[in-house]
Amino acid sequence: MTFVMGPALLFCPADRPERYQKAATRADAVILDLEDAVAPADKQRARGAILAQLGAAGDAPELDPSRTIIRVNPAGTEEFEKDLHCLAHTPYRTVMLAKAESAVQLEALAGYQVIALCETAAGVLNALAIAAAPNVVALMWGAEDLLASLGGTSSRTDDGGYRAVALHARSTVLIAARAFGKEAVDAVYTNIPDLAGLAAEAADAVASGFSSKACIHPSQAAGVREAYAPSEAEVSAATELLQAAEAAGQGVFQYKGQMVDGPILKHAESILRRKGERV
């Protein structure tokens, strides 16, 4: 099974099965969360909910396995082992490992496609080694857990922007993922009513090279999708530029008064890929 990594990934508490379908409908993929979104006393019930929606033996699961991620608890914990026991009885083979901190931890998830969530100081420092693990398909970073691991109190300043240390972690995880050809997922935007702020941050994620952005509320998914969908003007400009490059037939050329070389052409190709057109 090949997992489909769309731009909007939506978290859903695994102990709220009545929300599963709504989350799957709103986003490109749903993340059933067995970690932070579920109270310790409710984790076993959450696993039961995942199993219950599979139906009788032979029935198709309620959720498409190619668009479903299970966020499991940190490796080495008792809850992690219980999560794996649950997953063994499901068709879901894409997991998000909470608080991933080393490549060794990925060995326990052999047979799964893993989105490694680097959200501690150790996870960010070891992002390159984690990205190199063969079963890792993507890296994601988490701001608030990171600041907590540093002894801080907030990842953002009063104006809503990230603090320097959070920006450093964001860049580190993105670069590590891309260095090994893996996908990169931007952190959630926690101010749910601030859709304008979400749109701006999603637009920056697109421009920076993140392939997806995680959401914590269904209302955020549309804004993320919109940010990743290039405008008709952008598509037209990218198409014209690539056609001009083909006509020029040389490595560097002038186009509308600007120098164009390989990296500029790759930017244009990226726009067309997001549009779903061949380049």
Q: Torsions phi, psi of 25, nearest 5?
A: -75, -40
Outline where DSSP puts E strands in 87-221. Answer: 94-97, 113-118, 136-141, 183-186, 212-215
- Per-residue confidence (pLDDT) for residue 232, from 0 to 100: 74
Pairing relationship of beta strands 8-13 and 136-141 according to DSSP bridges: unpaired
* Per-residue pLDDT reduced to its tens digit, 102-143: 999 999 999 999 999 999 999 999 999 999 999 999 999 999
- Is the pLDDT at 46 greater than 90, yes or no? yes
Measure the CA–CA gap between 57 and 254, rounded to whole angstroms. 63
Measure the CA–CA gap between 141 and 120, rounded to whole angstroms. 9
- Find the mean pLDDT for residues 141-159: 95
- Per-residue confidence (pLDDT) for residue 59, from 0 to 100: 56
Mind listing the domains of the chain with CATH numbers? 8-228 (3.20.20.60), 232-275 (no CATH)
